Each structure stands twice: as structure tokens, then as C-alpha cells.
Chain A
Amino acid sequence: MILPKYSEFCGRVKTLSGASALEAIPGELKKMNSKKALIITDKGVESAGLIKIVKEAISKKGSKLTVGAIYDETPPDSDYKVVNSVASIYRNKNCDSIIAVGGGSVLDTAKGVNILVSLGGDNVLAYSGAGAVKQRLKPLVAVPTTAGTGSEMTLVAVIADHDRHIKMTFVSYFLLPDIAVLDPRMTKTLPASITAFTGMDAMTHAIEAYFCLGKNPMSDTTAFKAIQLVSKNILNAVKNPGDMESRLAMANAAALAGIAFSNSMVGLVHNLGHATGAVCHVPHGVCMSIYLPYGMEYNLHKVGDLIGELLYPLAGPEIFAKTPKKQRPRATIDYVRGLNEELKKATGGRHATALKDILDREGKQMVPRDAIPVIAKNAMGDGAKTYNPEEQSFDDNIMVIEAAWEGKPLDLKKIKKGPKNQKF
């Protein structure tokens, strides 16, 4: 086990996990003196009937929690103007807490709203960056409806400024929700392809957390368990969406992976994934599942031993024991590629394994080849590269993105290698 000379860890989100976790929300908010909550969600969650389930669960007899308003127009990419306007709804309705029901965009929007309603002001961008939020915010309950982002466990919110075509990052321990509610009813209706790529998003969080520079024994523990849970349950959740045990396992995996990467940060996979998402509007999880094996290959010479250790939670003790130590790193990468292929089959080809194969709803290619230099340039300004074990230059990015576009493994000889034996 690697014990860094110094590390920090914070995982203080109270987690309610189980088949009737939603019903516990009023009691938890009562403990925080909250009587009137604002629900923030999006149209997809509303039309899937999930808000109805949440409303019924929190309005059961004896509950003294009222819902001040429901905002269901959160866009797929959280936007600062939306955040500003939702904050005024919160104020007008005299709410005193927020319940965010949705995926990453909804949770990020809710975190942004919470900054404004707690600290004052009209524009959330005034609090962008790291360290601008310095005090406790209003009670925030996060109810994820996908099992992937782990946003319910993270101290980060990403909110877009669509006028300037940039995404602003907000980082503070005070952005951690007070409560995360992992209820399998919330992910039961997720379509197979979304279950697949959001699950691989969680897998990526955990795997990168395990081998990137900020790793520490506590983030390792949560990452290890998250990988095990995803590996064991993702295919079943895709093939049998109604299997509540798999859904709950995936929700727990996403939360554990969220704790892991929130504390150890992530590397190249997220770096290129964020850039690809920003330039070509590809869903985050799709980018993650495609880039994941490339991120491991790119860092193989520095953290091969760590990658090899991941064969245990991925493939189980028998395969791990049968595989000679030297072969484990490559076997781990092959296992992840194999899992992506199985998910592709299980989703009828919708789970893309190469950038060139990602199609939008009209069947158009989302990542044209000529977007590669733009993605590579965009990635140079993304913070995740700081935590990647190997250095990433513009040319390195081009090499990795080209391979991921084609869907071919990286040519390891072409990787410019820094010194082996990474220090942590």
C-alpha cells in the first residue's frame, strides 16, 4: 500500500441508502431546522415520474416538511443564469433548504443556488474558483437519479457561462451536500445506454482516484470498493433494469467513487473527457468510458503496479491469483476494454467504444476528426491534468485522442516517458 508523506481526506456527507431512503428526508431536514424545501430538478426527471415519488415520500403522514416550489427547467448543462433565477425563486418562496433531484447538472445547479441564497448576491459567478465560499451554506439534500457522477459526494460544482463558452468551476468543502439519498427507485427507469455510460463514469472516478497523484489510503479504500461494485453489477443493471439490488449497488458505487475522486482527484481521462464534452457536447460518461483504457495505458510505465492491483476488484480473486504479477496491468486494461465491449453488446451498439462512433439522436457523428486539435488545446486548460502521473503536452493529447477516435490501443512506444517509480 502506498502511504503518501502527506494527504488530506474529507468525506462528511451523511448517506441514506436503501429502498425507502427518500422517506427519511423530512426527519433529516427537521434536525437542521428546515421546514420548507425548494426542489430543483429537470424535465427528464419530472416526466419519468421521479418527482412524484419524491413528493409522496416526503409528504407522508407526520412529515412537517412543505415544498416551497419545484423548479424543473434545469438544462443539461447547468448555466449561471439559471442558477441566478432559481435563487430568486428560493428567496421569493421563503424556502430554507434545497432538495436536488437529478444528475450532475441538477446537483451542480443546486450547489450554485445554495451559494447565492446562503451568501447573498445576484450572480453566482462572483463565487467562482476555489476558496471563494468560506462558510456553511443552507441545508442541501442530494438525490441522484443516475449512478455515475458522484456529485452528491463532491465539493465541486461546474456551472457554464454559455455567453463566454466556458465552464466555471466552484470548489469548496462547504459545497458538499449535507445529505445524499441513494434510493434505487430513482435509477430504476434509467435507459440501458445511460446506465452503461454513467456506470463507467463511476468506474473511471474510482480507477483514476486509485492511480493518480492525490491517492491516499482512505480514497483507495472507497475506490477499491466502488470498482468491485460496478464490475459486479453494471451488466446486470443494464440487462435487468428492474433489479433493485443492482441499482442500489450501482448507486452506492457511484457515491463511493465520488468520495474517492473528490479527495484524490483525477487525471488524463477526465482531462480529455472534459475537453471533449466542452467542444463536441458529448455526455460526460460516454467520454469517460471511451478514454478510460487510454488513461491507464498512458500512465502504465509510471503506475503499472497500481493498475495491476485493480484486477482484483475488477475480475475477482480467482482471476487475480491466476494472473502473474507482471501481466496484471495489461490484464486490467484488457478487462476494462472487454467490459466496454460487453456493454456495447448489451445496449445494442449504443455504448460507443471509439470517439468516431458516438452519434447524436439524429444519428450524426458527434466528434468529427477535425475537432481533435481543438479538444487537445482545450484540455491544456483543464485542472485534471495536474494530477495525472505523466506529463501531458498538446502533442501527447493529440496522440491519445487520435487513438481513442479510431478505437485502437495506444502505441506504448510513442509515449514520452518521465521517470518511473512515481512518488506519491
Chain B
Amino acid sequence: MNIDKYPELKPGKKYIKRYYVAIMLWIVGRAIQAACRLDKEVIKEFSELPEKFTFSLGVLPDGPFMIIGKDDKGRAKYMGWNKGRTRFPLEMNIKSLEAAIKVFTFQEGTATAFARERFIVDGDLGYALAVVRVLNIIEVYLLPKIITKLAVKRYPRWSEFSPLRKWVNRILIYIRAFTF
């Protein structure tokens, strides 16, 4: 029997999609770190998480990932993209690169992605919800309203999120995320 007639199938690499998701995760990670020094809701969410809490958000099976931890002052710190074999108290993973693309191109909101079982959450679900709330706030800061509305269930009203807060923090978050 010619065994070569039955070759192994190896998955493709999808470099462009991987780089796109990796860049998005880097931006979101840096923005969380910046927002945790500016936005009172994000500060509050992190203050209620346990000391030394760390979580990863990424794509299965091989990444990319984003790792966020709490520093000594209780603020969020972006800790890079290389997860290695480390296990974190909370790991939120999107099941596939294709699903991650849907999430990060805002074809699917976070809640819809959860409902479609795109995510696998390892860890305490209460902490995962806190992370989702932070992600929703970050989306409001980073993206124009027309796109954010696709990603969240209800865009915050002026009474919940004043334009002054949004624009001042948006500018500062962008500066901090891309500079230091």
C-alpha cells in the first residue's frame, strides 16, 4: 500500500488574520491599562478583583493572547502577549481564529459571542463578567459610536457616560496606549 496517498492534513497559518487579532488584543490590553488610571468605573471594577489577579484573553489553540494583571497599587497592567504554558486564575479564550475575527471586526457583540458559545471561560464566572464590563467600556472609548453599537447591547446614554468624560478619556487613553 502506498501510504503517501493518504497525507496528513495540516492546518493553514492564516497570518493576516492572526496579526490582525494580535494587534487588536495589544491595543485593547494597552487601553485597559490606560483606562484603569483614568476611568472611575474601570478603576472600581479592578479594585474589586482579588490582589495579584491575572487573566488572559486569547484565541485557541495557539493564540494570540493578551495578559492583564493587577500591579501592587491594584491597577491593571498589560503583561504582554506570550502566555506560554502559564495558567491564570481566569482564562477567557475564543474557540477559533475565525470566531475571534467575528468578535474583533465587531460582526458579533461580546454578548452574542458568548451566546453562540464562541468563548470558553476557565475560572470564576463573576470575574469574567467584570472583565466583560471593562471590555464594553473600553469599546466605547476606542471605537466610534456607530461601530460600538454593533458590539454592545445598549450604547450608554449621556446620563451614564457624559460626552466630556468620553472625549477627554478617549484622547488620554489613546495617547497612553500608544506611548508609555
Contact = CB atoms under 8 A, between A and B. Distances in A.
Interface of A: 4-8, 128-132, 166, 168-169, 171, 212-214, 264-265, 380-383, 385-387, 389-391, 393, 416-419, 423-424
Interface stretch (B12-20, B21-29, B120-128, B167-175): B120-128
A7 B129 contact: no
Contacts of B118: 6
Which 7 pairs, one residue from A and one from B, show the smallest C-beta to C-beta distance? A418-B154, A213-B115, A391-B154, A391-B153, A131-B122, A214-B115, A381-B126
Contact of A383 (B120, B125, B153, B155): B125
What secondary structure prevails in chain A residues at the interface with B?
A: loop
Interface residues of B, number: 26
Contacts of B117: 6-8, 214
Residue of B112, B130, B152 ringed by the most chain A CB atoms within 10 A:
B112
Contacts of B132: 386
Contact of A393 (B121, B128, B160): B160
Contacts of B40: none
A105 B122 CA distance: 23
B157 interface: yes
B111 interface: yes
A7 B154 CA distance: 23
B138 to A, nearest CB: 16
Given A383-B129, A418-B155, A213 B112 contact: yes
Nearest to A9: B117
A130 B90 CA distance: 10
Contacts of A380: 129, 133
A131 B125 contact: no
Nearest to A5: B116
Nearest to A128: B124
B116 A169 contact: no
B123 A129 contact: yes
Contacts of B128: 383
B91 to A, nearest CB: 8
Given A129-B121, A213-B112, A213-B115, 8 more contacts: A6-B117, A7-B116, A130-B122, A131-B120, A380-B133, A383-B126, A418-B153, A419-B149
A132 to B, nearest CB: 7
Nearest to B124: A129
Given A417-B154, A424-B115, A385 B129 contact: yes
Contacts of A416: 154, 157
Nearest to B157: A416
Given A381-B129, A423-B112, A132 B122 contact: yes
A130 B123 CA distance: 6
Contacts of A419: 149, 154
Nearest to B133: A380
Contacts of B154: 390-391, 416-419
A4 to B, nearest CB: 6
B153 A389 contact: yes
Given A130-B122, A132-B122, A418-B155, A213 B130 contact: no
B130 A391 contact: no
